[in-house]
Chain A
Amino acid sequence: MTRFLTILYALLAFVGVLTGQPVAAQNQAVDAIHSLIEQAEPGSVVHVPPGVYEGNLVIDKPIILEGGDQAIIDGLGQGSVVEIRAEGCTFRGFLVRNSASGVDREPSGIRVLAGNSTIENNRLEDVLFGIDLQNAPNSKVLNNEILGKDLGLARRGDGLRLWWSLGCTIKGNTVKGLRDMVFWYSEDLDVSDNRVSDSRYGLHFMYSHHTSVHDNNLSENAVGIYLMYSNTIDISHNTIRNNRGVSGYGIGLKDCDSITISSNALLANRVGIYVDNSPSAYDSTGLISDNMVAFNEIGLLATPITHNNIITHNAFLENEEQAAAHGGGNLSLNSFASDGIGNFWSDYAGYDKDGDGIGDIIHEPKSLFRSLIAREPNLRLFVHSPAQQAIELTARALPELNPKPIFVDPTPLTRVPDLTLPSDGQTTTGAPMGVLAVVLLTIACGSGWLVFRQQPFPNVLPTKVSHTIGRGRA
């Protein structure tokens, strides 16, 4: 057997020598790639042979650098691993790893300093910042996978950052365990099909306007999407789940105008949608429609000054608190229906006599306990407890205790609207749960059987009767 293996290795080595490809790649300096680039014509394709290349790669010529998914560039923990300085480069199919970890020079896996770049199908590991585009307009960042260093949230860098980069396409990237996917001063973007998890902000827009954000999947981050001072943004068909940081917004808006939020699934976040002073311009409106807002602590949270939002045809399903005003007050400056179409509220207690799917009485939720919480936030400790129910019941019995409603939906829907939502991707089998059910029932029945089983009383021969005590009339 061993002899056979030896022969096999020898053969392989021989083949390797013939083809000029190293079998077991020796680590070499990244200068090997530099010299390949130097020899290449601008605009040509440069294939980098498989192997590990150590050092910091700088691309200063417009070429197409092809890693073929087998070239590894290792920054050895020094600075940024790859830096693109020439316009119109393509960087494709590499594993990029091991940037510096000190935050001061913002070391990145791939730093792009020129426009019309394409960063595609790379995998980044152990990098402080992932892909960093600075003044790189009309670039494309496609299908990269970015994994961060194992650092505390405060010491991490951004997974993907755009800085003054207009007209970019960010599509199909996966970011896990970094800080933000953040867009600064960058307009006309297409941000779609990205997956961000275990990070701080899934998508973060600062002063970035005219953008379409769709079909992204943002889960287990502190915040799903956060927009600040960014206008005309269309957020649709995103799945935003389980973002439960301190603020924990599924989607948060601060001072943003002309925002459309539609057909998103906002599930199990601390707050589904948070609106702070958006729209901020007096004549602007925001539209929140066709979203599934379910299982969040608070479905919709807005500051009381928030106005001019139209909230229609959404499903607010089983949120612990369906809609609330941040810091007390109410949401009366917004309208919860448009053209006679309101929203579905799972706690709606009215009826629909004519069966047109619209409730015949308005929905104006009042909760004494909520209003108490608004006054004394510490009382939130007592949610999910029977005492809370007791307070609500008391308030129902004594109408004079009833607080003002937080909002009014004049035409609530009585059926969950048919929403075209992104597919969740989480299909789980019920098998383990089924096994658990069986185990539990077996425990219950088994112990019952153990205790109750009837054993026939033993038959004893009369000779064994040792102390007859006088036979009664049996």
Chain B
Amino acid sequence: MIQVFHVTKAFQRVVAVDDLSFELEQGGSLALWGSNGAGKTTMIRCLLGVFPFRGSVTVKGIDVKKHGKQARSFIGYVPQELAFHDDARLGASILFFARLRKVGREDAAVALDAVGLRGHERKRVRDLSGGMKQRLALAVALLADPPIIVLDEPTSNLDASGRGEVVESLARLRDAGKTLVFASHRPDEVVSLAERVIMMERGKLIRDTTPSKLWPAYAPVQTIRLYLSEGTDESAAAVLREAGHAVNLNGHGLCVSVSRNRKAEPVAVLAKASIIVRDFEVLEDIPADGNAGSEDLT
């Protein structure tokens, strides 16, 4: 799906990406992991072919340097922070990108629906919360249903609950068969989403491995579906959000994303608020054991 051969990119004298190569199969998910300034963002931009670089990148066999436009049509991109014109309205913004992606107004509406932003079309971009902006960016990235999603620190500007939301959305996309490439410096995201990690340092590839090898004892995020009494979904969601959990309401029930080692916490919180949990179910089962996670989602 994606092939990166000896990519090198230098800005004046600073080498941001130094002779990086990797390949990624369709449906794979890959994290570029490293500290700030390791060259993750630059690598992602090379992948998108937005500026010249040495080496080559092909996306579905298409050279991004020669046919960048076509290559990018297979990629949905989510930037670190949504960069829309602040004065523009949400509806107009997504329609603009819909036009660039050659999809119709209906698809734009579907995309907004999918990220729960319907009804906000008249809002100006500057009035959106960070989470809404990120969801809008996701909606844009998904406009033409591209096979590849590329994300640059997708959660860095979000609070904990927003982060959970995004991570969960991405997990669904991955499960739906999308190829995922993202830059991150948060181990929890990497563990939750990536099958493969490329560790970068000063532009160089240090290790090409899997999250479980990199953090064998790390507790990943799991999503729990709670089955509650009729009509208490809304109030339960409010209570959980109050407690700092990432909550997601859909037709089937209420989903909470928590770290593996804290699965009981939402139930306890709800119990305290006298909301009865009839049942719960763990949606994702990432094989990982241990409970020594020093970082978690909340």
Contacts and interface: CB of A to CB of B under 8 A. Distances in A.
Interface of A: 455, 457-460, 462, 464-474
A471 B109 contact: no
A287 B231 CA distance: 105
Contact of B135 (A464, A467, A472): A472
B114 A460 contact: no
Given A455-B105, A464-B110, A470 B145 contact: no
Nearest to B94: A457
Contact of A457 (B121, B145, B165): B121
B114 A465 contact: yes
Given A472-B115, A473-B237, A473-B241, A467 B121 contact: no
Contacts, number: 67
Nearest to B145: A467
B247 A457 contact: no
A468 B119 contact: no
B80 interface: no
A472 B131 contact: yes
A462 B118 CA distance: 11
Given A470-B248, A473-B237, A457 B105 contact: yes
A470 B172 contact: yes
A474 B119 contact: yes
Nearest to A459: B109
A186 B248 CA distance: 109
Contacts of B248: 470-472
A464 B106 contact: yes
Contacts of A459: 109
6 contacts: A467-B173, A469-B115, A470-B168, A470-B172, A471-B249, A473-B247
A465 B110 CA distance: 6
Contact of A458 (B105, B119, B247): B105
A472 B132 CA distance: 9
A466 B108 CA distance: 12
Contact of A472 (B121, B165, B172, B173): B165
B34 interface: no
Q: How large is the interface on B (under 10, 10 to 19, 20 to 34, 35 or more residues)?
A: 20 to 34
A461 to B, nearest CB: 10
Interface string B166-209: 00110011001000000000000000000000000000000000
B151 interface: no
Contacts of B114: 465-469
Contacts of A470: 165, 168-169, 172, 248, 250, 255
Contacts of A462: 113
B62 interface: no
B147 to A, nearest CB: 12
Instruction: Sort A-B residue pairs by CB-CB distance and give the 9 closest, nearest first.
Output: A474-B116, A472-B116, A469-B169, A470-B169, A460-B109, A471-B116, A469-B114, A458-B109, A457-B121
B106 A460 contact: yes
A468 B172 CA distance: 9
B91 to A, nearest CB: 5
Interface of B: 91, 105-106, 108-110, 113-121, 131-132, 135, 138, 142, 145, 165, 168-169, 172-173, 176, 237, 241, 247-250, 255
Q: Which of A457, A460, A464 has the most CB of B within 10 A?
A: A457
A473 B120 CA distance: 12
A159 to B, nearest CB: 67
Contacts of B138: 469
A40 B115 CA distance: 111
B59 to A, nearest CB: 20
Q: Per DSSP, are chain B's interface residues mostly helix, strand or loop, or mixed?
A: helix
Nearest to B105: A458
Contacts of A467: 114, 142, 145, 173, 176
A468 B250 contact: yes
B135 to A, nearest CB: 6
A299 to B, nearest CB: 52
B238 to A, nearest CB: 9
Nearest to B257: A470
B91 A473 contact: no
Nearest to A470: B169
Contacts of A460: 106, 109-110, 113
A466 B132 CA distance: 20
Given A467-B176, A472-B115, 20 more contacts: A457-B91, A458-B109, A460-B110, A460-B113, A465-B110, A465-B114, A466-B110, A468-B114, A469-B115, A469-B138, A470-B172, A470-B255, A471-B248, A471-B249, A472-B116, A473-B116, A473-B237, A473-B247, A473-B249, A474-B116
A151 B123 CA distance: 72
Contacts of B116: 471-474
Contacts of A473: 116, 237, 241, 247, 249
A469 B135 CA distance: 10
Nearest to B119: A474
Nearest to B115: A469
A473 B247 CA distance: 8
A469 B116 CA distance: 9
A54 B74 CA distance: 88
A473 B236 CA distance: 13
B139 to A, nearest CB: 8
Q: Which of A467, A468, A472 has the most CB of B within 10 A?
A: A472
Q: Which of A458, A466, A469 has the most CB of B within 10 A?
A: A469
Contacts of A464: 106, 110
A466 B106 contact: no
Q: Which of B113, B117, B135 has the most CB of A within 10 A?
A: B113
Contact of A469 (B109, B132, B172): B172
A467 B142 CA distance: 9
A98 to B, nearest CB: 70
B106 A458 contact: yes
Nearest to A466: B110
Contacts of A455: 105
A465 B250 CA distance: 13
A471 B145 contact: no
A474 to B, nearest CB: 4
A468 B176 CA distance: 10
Given A458-B106, A460-B106, A460-B109, A474 B117 contact: yes
B234 to A, nearest CB: 10
Contacts of B173: 467, 469
A469 B142 contact: yes
B151 to A, nearest CB: 13
B250 A471 contact: yes
Nearest to B162: A472
A457 B108 CA distance: 9
A462 B116 CA distance: 12
Contacts of B255: 470
A457 B169 contact: no
A467 B105 CA distance: 16
B241 A465 contact: no
Contacts of A466: 110, 114, 145
